[in-house]
Amino acid sequence: MNDIFDIIIIGGGPAAMGAIQYLDFNHPLKVLILSDKPIGEFVYNSIKTHDTIDGLFFYEGKKPEQLINFYNKLIITKKIDYKIDFIKNIIKSDNLFILKGSQSKYISRQVLIATGMQNKMYKSYANYENVLYLAGKLSKSDLNNKICVVIGGRNSGTAAAIYLSKLCKTVYLIEQKSKLMCKQKYLDRLSLRKNIITVVNVKDINLIKKTKLQIKSISLTTPEKNIIIDLDYILVYIGLTPNSNLVNSICKLDKIGYIITDNHNETSCKGLFAAGDVTGRLSQIITCHGDGANAIYWIQKNIN
Ligand SMILES: Cc1cc2nc3c(=O)[nH]c(=O)nc-3n(C[C@H](O)[C@H](O)[C@H](O)COP(=O)(O)OP(=O)(O)OC[C@H]3O[C@@H](n4cnc5c(N)ncnc54)[C@H](O)[C@@H]3O)c2cc1C
């Protein structure tokens, strides 16, 4: 017989941590966090590409590691049960939520979805080992003397190119529009990096394979010329998509796939709450902390 939890939180990012911070311990509840990755992994690999964390008052100028350490301490001090598992889907039966994970089944009275977003896949590139979606995942030794191609010249892609250029030999930054679409601060930093080559107006990209799982080169078509670049890694930054598939049959999503919630962060399914990037709010750590806090406040009110 499975344990019945009062609250299950799915996700281990800023929205889930905002919720944990605001849990009221005067009413001890049975709470479980389920995340398919270690706490804060997505946000860590995202912000690692900046010099510092942007837009988070007390962490402005601090290193990403400090935020992740804080999250991990929070789980320990609040004595929250935490398990790594990927939740495939959720159904509601007799006012209880049944969560089907890769490893186990879980039952809870209320659920908070804080599953964030993931980088959009580019064409069928997902099958290749040297195509990645977060530059922060590559270590210094992976990148030593290497050539990287970053696809996508918005803020995230340009920040990633700047980060990579400090660790590898050459970075190509590829954009389909006629100029990079990022903030001036990134353009200023980019102009100082001599080993970044920007290619704009790219109308077509083709892959040249080395093996079944490795890409050797990339061929770019612009109105003026065709370019072939030999490479070690491709990093894809062409936008993000919400991780909402696990609840698409039990609550309403908008056209893009964001989970629709009310002012209490409750979805169209009673007892099912959502917070953070998966709801389509401003994609920033500070917003996610607040959103998670609001959700848990109303979840506890429902229980009390
Ligand atoms: C390149 C980049 C740079 C950024 N820089 C900044 C910055 O400087 N400052 C700032 O404030 N914000 C920044 N952001 C935005 C910030 O990272 C996000 O707003 C924030 O991480 C979203 O938090 P979240 O908790 O909603 O989701 P996430 O941080 O994405 O966490 C979601 C969690 O859910 C887990 N999960 C997903 N699906 C499942 C499932 N089915 N089962 C189990 N677990 C699951 C994931 O593994 C993850 O642990 C940046 C984002 C990117 C991409």
Mutate to test the pocket of ligand 1, among 43, 112, 133, 235 (most ligand atoms within 8 A of CB): 43
- Per-residue pLDDT, 124: 67
Ligand 1 pocket, 59 CB below 6 A? no
Q: Whose CA is nearest to atom 6 of ligand 1?
A: 47
The partner residues of 228 in beta bridges, in order of sequence, read 219
What is the atom index within ligand 1 of the atom nearest the CA of 282? 19
- Per-residue pLDDT, 64: 86
Mean pLDDT of the chain: 92
Instruction: Please give the domain boundaries of the chain with CATH numbers for all domains.
Output: 4-119+240-303 (3.50.50.60), 125-236 (3.50.50.60)
Mutate to test the pocket of ligand 1, among 35, 59, 82 (most ligand atoms within 8 A of CB): 35
Q: Are 25 and 31 in contact (CB under 8 A)?
A: no
Q: What is the pLDDT of residues 233-285, one digit of tens each?
A: 999 999 899 999 999 999 999 999 999 999 999 999 999 999 999 999 999 99
Q: What is d(CA 167, CA 138) in angstroms, rounded to the nearest whole number?
A: 10
- Per-residue pLDDT, 13: 97
- Per-residue pLDDT, 49: 81
